[in-house]
Amino acid sequence: MIVPMIKYGFLVYHRDFDSFLSRLQDMGMVDIERHTKVLSDEERDLMNEINRYNQVLKDLKIRESSFDGNTKVAPLTSEEILTEYDSLIREKEQIENSMRKAYKDLNDARPWGSFSIDLLHTINESGLKIRFFVTNEKAFDEEALSDVTVEVINQEAGQIYFVWIQQKDEDATLPIDAVEVKIPTYSASGKEAEIAAYKGRNSEIENRLNQLSLFISQLEASKDELVNKLEINSVTLSADKQADDKVFILNGWVPEPKNEEFAKFIEKESIICVSEKAKKEDNAPILLKNNKFARLFEPIGSLFTNPSYGEIDLTPLFAPFFMMFFGFCLGDAGYGLVMLLGASLYKPRAKQKMRPILSLVQWLGVATVIFGILTGTFFGIELVSVKISFIEKFKDMFLDQNQLFTLALVVGAIQIVFGMFVKAANEIRLWGWKYSITTFSWLLLILGSGAFYGLSMVDGMNVEFMGLAHKIVLGIAAIGIFFFNSPGKNPAVNVGLGLWGTYNMITGLFGDILSYIRLFALGLSSAILGNVFNSLAFGMAPDIPVVGAIVTILILIAGHSINLFMAALGALVHPMRLTFVEFYKNAGFVGGGASYKPFQKKSKQTI
C-alpha cells in the first residue's frame, strides 16, 4: 500500500534558516519539495569533488583486500590522500608508457646482444668504422664475404645479424644483399635494466596505493560531508524567498506514521508551519509499505514506475501472479531445486541488502518446483516416460501440452479480469463511483456471458445462451458502456466514446489474452533444451568407462547451466512484460509517482 503523506509548509526567518535545515537534516523525515533549476557554480564544484571521491574510493575498495589492515600508516588529511593518489596514478601511467617503449626498444636491441656503447664509440674514434647489417640466411654468402671483415652477432627466425668492420676512410660496397641499420644507441642489457627499474618503481606505487586503502572510512566520511553540504545547498536554493529575502518558505512531505514524532520536533522550533493531509492531486512522494512477501516484489515494480499518489499500489496484487508466471516459464523441478537450495545456502552469508533478493529467488524457486511437478519435468527428463514405480501413480496428474496451453490462456484471462476489478476500485478511489460504471459494465458483460455459456453447456440446466435473461444482462451492460463512460458529458459524446471504447476493448482483450501463450511457449522451450542436453551428454560420451562418465557429467553441468541461465532470464523478462503491459493496462494503472527521499544526512551513499 501507499503510505499517506502529510504536507508541511515552513515559514522561517532568514537568520534561523541554516540552523533549522541542519536540525531538519538530522531528523531525516521530510522529503523537501525541490524546484528544477540550473546548477549553481557551487553545486557544480561540489558534485565534481564528490565524483572525485567516488572514483578514488572505487579503486581503493578493490585494493582493500590486497593490503594488511593492521599495518600502521602515517595519518593524512582527506585532501592529502586524494592529491597523493592523483600523483601516484599519473606517475604510474607515465611508467607504463615508458615501459611499453622500453619493451619495443628491447625487441629491437635483443638480436645484437649485450655490448658497451662507450666501447663502440671508442672503436669508431680509433679509426675503425663498425656498420650493422641484417639479411636472410639465403642471401648470406660466406664465400662472397671472405675478402671483408664481418662478424655474425646473432642468427634467429631466418635472419642473420652481423657487423662489418672497416677503415674509417674505406669506401667499399658490401658484396651481398643486406639491409644496413642504424648504430644502436642502447644494448639489450641496458634496456633490461631500465625495465627492471620501471617495474620496481611500479611495485612501490602499487604498494603505496594499497596502503591508501586503509583510509577508506575517512574518505567515505569526508565524501558524506560534501553530499550533506550539497543537499543543504540544493534545499536552500529551492526555498521561496519573500519580504526582501528576510523570510524563507519551504514545503515538504512527512509520512503519516512519523507525523506525531515530527510534530513534537516542530513544537520546539521557532518557526511557523502549516500542515494538512496530502490530497491525490498534490502529487505527493511515494513510500510503499507492504507485507513481508509483497515487499520482495517492490524492486520489480520500481523497474517500471511508482504508482501515483492516491491510486492503489499494485505490488501485492501482481506478486502472486508474477511468482506463478515465473514458475510456468521455467517449469523444471530440477532447476527450481537448484535455485531454492543455492539461495538458501548463500543467504546466511550474504550482505543484508542482498538477502531480500535471495528471498525472492527462493520463492521463485518454489514456484518453479511446483510447475515442474505439474508438468513432470526434472532437469529436462520427462517423468511421464520414466518407468519408476514411485512415479507411476502420479503420471495421470501430469499436464500435457494441450492442457498447459489451455492453462496459460485461462490464467491470462483470470489476471485480466482481476485487473479490471482493480481498475474499477481505482476509479472509485480517484474520481468517484460514477467513473467506475463503464468498467463494471464490461465485467458484467464478460462474466455474465461466460456464466450463461457455461451453464447452457450443463445438462439439466434450463439456461439458454443469448436467451432473454442473457439479453437483459447485455442490455444493462450496454447502458453502462455507452452512456456512463465519461460522466457529465453530452450523451451523444458518450455514445461515440462508447463505440470507440468497445472497438479497443474487443481487439485489445483478445490480444491481451493471447499474449499469455508465451508462458506455455517458454516452459516448453526450456524443457526441450534440457532434454537436448541430456541426449548430447549420453550420446557424445565415449565408451571408455571413466572418461565416458566424466564427459557425460561435464556436458550435463555445462548444458543445464546454460539452459538454466537463459530460461531464468526469459522467465524473468516475460512475466514483467505481462505485468507491465497486460495487467497494468487493464488495471487502469496511472503511475508516475516520485519516490519518497527524505532530506537526511548521507552515510556511505554515492551520487
Question: 564 and 433: one domain?
Answer: yes
Range with the poorest average pLDDT among 114-123, 149-158, 293-302, 580-589: 114-123
When pLDDT is cut at 50, 70 and 90, the band that residue 360 belongs to is very high
What's the mean pLDDT in 104-119? 78
Are the C-beta atoms of residues 529 and 544 closer than 8 Å to each other? no
* 444 in any annotated domain: yes
Q: Is 525 exposed, middle or buried (0-12, 13-18, 19+ CB in 10 A)?
A: middle
Q: Is the pLDDT of residue 323 over 90?
A: yes
State which amino acid sits at residue 374. L
Mapping DSSP to helix (H, G, I), strand (E, B) and coil, where does residue 551 land?
helix
Backbone angles phi, psi at 12, to 5 degrees: -125, 135
Domain boundary among 183, 204, 239: 183
Q: How many CB atoms lie within 10 A of CB 216?
A: 17
* 37 in any annotated domain: no
- Alpha helix stretches (DSSP H) within 431-490: 437-456, 468-483
pLDDT digits (tens, 9 = 90+) for 208-254: 888 888 888 889 888 888 888 888 887 877 788 887 778 888 888 89
In angstroms, rounded to a whole number, what is the distance separating the alpha carbons of residues 335 and 372? 9
* 161 in any annotated domain: yes
Q: How many residues are there in the chain?
A: 607
Domain that holds residue 347: 294-379+398-586
In angstroms, rounded to a whole number, what is the distance separating the alpha carbons of residues 187 and 205? 27
- Average predicted confidence (pLDDT) for the chain: 84
* 415 in any annotated domain: yes
* 228 in any annotated domain: no
* 553 in any annotated domain: yes
Domain boundary among 155, 183, 211: 183
Which among 525, 533, 531 is positioned nearest to 574, based on CA atoms? 525
Which residues lie across from 155 on neighbouring strands?
Answer: 160
Question: 321 and 443: one domain?
Answer: yes
Count of domains observed in the chain: 2
- C-alpha neighbours within 13 Å on the C-beta side of residue 212: 28
* 83 in any annotated domain: no
In angstroms, rounded to a whole number, what is the distance separating the alpha carbons of residues 198 and 202? 6
Which residues lie across from 595 on neighbouring strands?
Answer: 286
Are the C-beta atoms of residues 128 and 168 closer than 8 Å to each other? yes
pLDDT digits (tens, 9 = 90+) for 118-141: 787 787 777 788 888 888 888 888
pLDDT digits (tens, 9 = 90+) for 512-563: 888 899 888 888 888 888 888 888 888 877 777 778 888 888 888 988 899 8
Which among 220, 252, 225, 250 is positioned nearest to 237, based on CA atoms? 250
Are the C-beta atoms of residues 377 and 383 closer than 8 Å to each other? yes
* 349 in any annotated domain: yes
Question: 359 and 493: one domain?
Answer: yes
Name, in order, each residue with C-beta under 8 angstroms of 299's C-beta and a sequence gap of 6 or more: 356, 357
- The pTM score is 0.72
Q: Name the strand (E) or helix (H) holding 382.
A: strand 381-382
